[in-house]
Amino acid sequence: MELVSVMLNGERTVVILFIARLLYSVPLFLLYEGFALSLLALAGFYLEIFTENSTSLIQFKTRPGASSGILLGTVTLPAVMLSRLIQLSRAVQHSEIGYLILQYWAVSASCFGVLVFLRFTLRQLADGTKSLSIPNVRNAAIGLSYVIFYAAICFFSLATNTPGLHVALKLLWVFCHGMAAVKLILHIIHTFPSCASIGEALLVTAGLVLYVGDMLACTLVKIDVTLFSSKLVSPQYEMKKNEISTIIQGILVGLLIFPILYKFIVRTCGYSTKYLNGEKFVTDEKTPRGVRRSLLFYGSLAVILVLVVPVWMRFVHEFHMHPLIWVFNFVFSEPLRRLPLCIYWIGVTCASVLRFYNISKHSKIERILLRKYYHLVAVLMFSPALILQPKFLDLAFGAALAAFLVLEIIRVWKIWPLGKHIHYFMNAFTDHRDSDLLIVSHFSLLMGCALPKWMSSGFNDRPLAPFAGILSLGIGDTMASMVGHKYGVLRWSKTGKKTIEGTAAGITSVLVACSVLLPLLASTGYVISQHWLSLLFAITVSGLLEAYTAQLDNAFIPLVFYSLLCL
């Protein structure tokens, strides 16, 4: 009994409940995918316990004070993809389900590949030797059998409705995602030390690999429909992207690749490379050399966003004009609805930023509570648009995330003349989960609100699913923190700060918000099919996850809540 209590801490228990609910809803034709998720969860569970009993994880320089989060980071994105598949299975027919199965295996292979790599690395460090003893041979055989079994399930799943040569190519595609994930997570951990736990880094890694892989697949479909891409994406499963998703994907991937290209340009132009490979790449200097490098930065950024990225957008989608002009026309196609919304967003943003910045400088209010005010601002900003202008909100989310990426690059590299000022301003809102190198809280809040909305495009018979981020972060997390900080007495654990009173307040507030939101959505034409018992379970599990997890809750809670709402 004592062993069970040690192995099943609060976070792991909540994750197991989450996975169990998901597997309970898996239809027969997704049995392979459900079985793979259970194997993935078992591997993540084992590796997380193994890392807790060794000191080998220190080499990765993870975020101080955070647990490894391996189990939660391993299952979150595959669970989201599986829940989306379950939701699409309820549609009479849906042409994208075949490609979504391939995406599920891609993200699952990314997580599984990282687990295999970590297991091999941590075992060698724990043994302190590279020689294979008898126990190591036995362990290696068990691990190899596990990998082969997992690969066999992937093969049978992809082979169900796919000809032979197509299966081989799709397996190669999935394998490349796993290899890319291993390479990327090592780069993230080494480039940004002490900025994330293993689970957080794994979530980011799997998401980036999947997103870039989807962009590459779209490009391959357009390059050669008869050879490689036709085997990768069958005609009946060909990806259907609208203009907004194409623009968002092109801009975001372009901004993620931009730092690599800029470093190459700096080296090519003969500037000093002394700081390019470290965290002290400083160009915020008023010397002529520093100004020239800053101008080179802004010029390169303009070329990427105005010339290079739009070329890809027009290649993969039939834009009859420059994509930026399309955005301008889209905004002004309904000026009486969208322009006032833009003015409202700008007004709320400016007022809240100036107000909270002054409070952070002159008030003794705790920073954690100050940050929760931004969660409430997110509710005020996004809820009306999500009900009245959902497509426009998709575009606005993408524009906001692109702006955040540009500002963070300028802040990290201290690009003249804005870098120093952005750094001082952002430091007023940081907490223990941020570092001097990266400030991620505003990214996680925006992504937590945006991802459920982006993933709900197409068939959606659960009208609350797009609101998963707003409800869990803007209402539930905020009320849990405020009530717990002011009135909380009973703590969930001896070492944690989360209280039972706060968690109860968060769960109750989300439940009340849903009871108000559902009739409102019904009045605007949505077909309500959300079962209250399932809704209560989803709210409770996400509330308990907020109480127990030591990970960046802005990133995980909306995805878990979204997955449960889709069921």
The full set of domain ranges for the chain reads: 1-234, 242-316+319-334+390-428, 338-388+435-566
Question: CB within 8 A of 370, min separation 6: which ones?
Answer: 356, 359, 360, 429
pLDDT given for residue 511 in this prediction:
92
Give the Cα separation of 354 and 212 in Å (integer): 36
> What pLDDT is recorded for position 216?
86
Give the model's pLDDT for residue 8.
76
499 bridge partner residues = 491
> Which of 108, 92, 94, 93 lies closest to 43 in space, CA to CA?
108
What letters, b where the CB count within 10 A reaches 16 and e where it falls short, cover 104-113?
bbbbbbbbbb
Q: Residue 491 — φ and ψ, nearest 5°?
A: -95, 150
Q: How far is CA 392 from CA 183, 252, 305, 395, in A?
A: 36, 17, 20, 5
Q: Give φ, ψ of 100 to 5 degrees.
A: -70, -35
Comparing CA positions, the residue from 75, 9, 21, 4 lying closest to residue 541 is 21
Residue 491: DSSP 8-state: B
Q: Write b or e for each residue in 443-482: b if 16 or more Cβ atoms lie within 10 A of its Cβ, otherwise e.
A: bbbbbbbbbbbbbbeebbebbbbbbbbbbbbbbbbbbbbb
Say which residue the tokens 């709320």 belong to.
348
**What phi and psi values does residue 239 have, to the nearest 5 degrees?**
-65, 135
Q: How far apart are CA 315 and CA 312, in angstroms?
A: 5
Cβ neighbors of 365 (< 8 A, separation 6 or more) are: 359
Strand partners, 491: 499
Calculate the CA dihedral of residues 328, 334, 339, 345 and round it to 10 degrees.
-100
Say which residue the tokens 């995980």 belong to.
556
- CA gap 175, 554 in Å, rounded: 30
Q: Write out the two tokens for 3.
A: 């062993």
Burial profile 157-192: b = 16 or more Cβ within 10 angstroms, e = fewer: bbbeebeeebbebbbebbebbbebbbebbbebbeeb
Q: What is the CA radius of gyration of the chain?
A: 24
Q: Can you list the alpha helix ranges (DSSP code H) found in 304-366?
A: 309-316, 323-333, 335-362
Token pair of 380, please?
Answer: 């005020």
Task: List, for the chain, all residue ranges whose pLDDT scores fall below the cut of 70.
Answer: 1-6, 53-58, 92-95, 122-139, 161-165, 224-240, 270-290, 357-370, 428-436, 495-496, 524-530
What pLDDT sits at residue 564? 94
Structure tokens at 412: 């990290």
Per the structure block, which two tokens stand in for 170?
């799709």
